[in-house]
Structure 1
Amino acid sequence: MSITNLKELFIHDLSDVYSAERQITKALPKMARAATDPKLVEAFKAHLEETQGQIDRLDQVVESSDEIRIKRMKCHAMEGLVEEAQELIDSVEKGEVLDAGLIGAAQKVEHYEIATYGTLAALAKKLGYTQAAKLLEETLQEEKNTDQKLTTIAESAPASKTR
């Protein structure tokens, strides 16, 4: 696919993040089952619900303008991040070390999403998609809040006895 203008870049990035969010809805239940810290389990479950709402919001972005159409594609970046989380689940014994790894894996996802939604909101504004920009900024704020929640959980976890 050859991208030649900002609208095409916007459509590409929107399509990419749509794929990313769909992949996250499959990964979060696995991460919740692997986690042992009750706050972390709850954070993953809450983020799954939030992610489903974000997919709905992406649908609203598409519906906000006749010019916006999502293309079918796979977000390879998210695929890699999800694979990393699965490798942790497969190779680290359940407990505080795995929980710490899962927090890190989830924050990598959040940082990717923060960068993507920030870019999309800016492009939407520049292209005059006012309603889309508002919806994307709402999701951006949710992603930042989730990242902060994960940091709080990590910082409140008890220190390991076996460092």
Structure 2
Amino acid sequence: MNQPKEVRTGGRSARVQESIHSAVRQLLKEHERANVTVPMVATLAGVTPSTIYRRWGDLNVLLADVALERMRPDTEPLATGSLRGDIQAWAEQYLDEMNSEPGRNMMRDVQSSPTKGTCVQILGAQLRIILERHRGHVDQLPDIDRLLNVIVAPVVFRILFAEAPLTLEQLNEQIDLALGQ
């Protein structure tokens, strides 16, 4: 299975990667995913298809790389003043984003990625920020695995495999379970 190669940040390689990522994002706005090809991306990005194949191996890995980049949040999770409030705000935003058509596509792309653990790292980092914010103010903090297993996993499962995503009421029930309430 092909994995994206590690590259130095900055410089020509970073500019080429950003150009290719930008081309993918633009093409996905203009075309159905099934109609996007490596030659289309290469032409729009101003590179040869071999540049893409050398770096990503195939289109699925490139789409997953772009999706993972989009999953990285721009800001820290909202601070509401309480642990439950912070987790609820974060979880509602996550449910809303992942239940959108771009979110569903992003999850499908990442699912075919050889770097699946990256999602857990990204989500775990967000949850760690919330937990650290409340360390020393809350008697019993849940661990990150518990939050992922009890909140995130049902959100993803229901979006991908059920007829309907979790309702906000069901999401709140999962938050209560995760926090032992």
Structure with the larger helix share: 1
Query: Which structure's CA Rg is the greater one?
Result: 2
The answer to whether the superposition gives a TM-score over 0.5 is no
TM-score by length of 2: 0.27
Structure with larger RCO (C-alpha < 8 A, sep 6+): 1
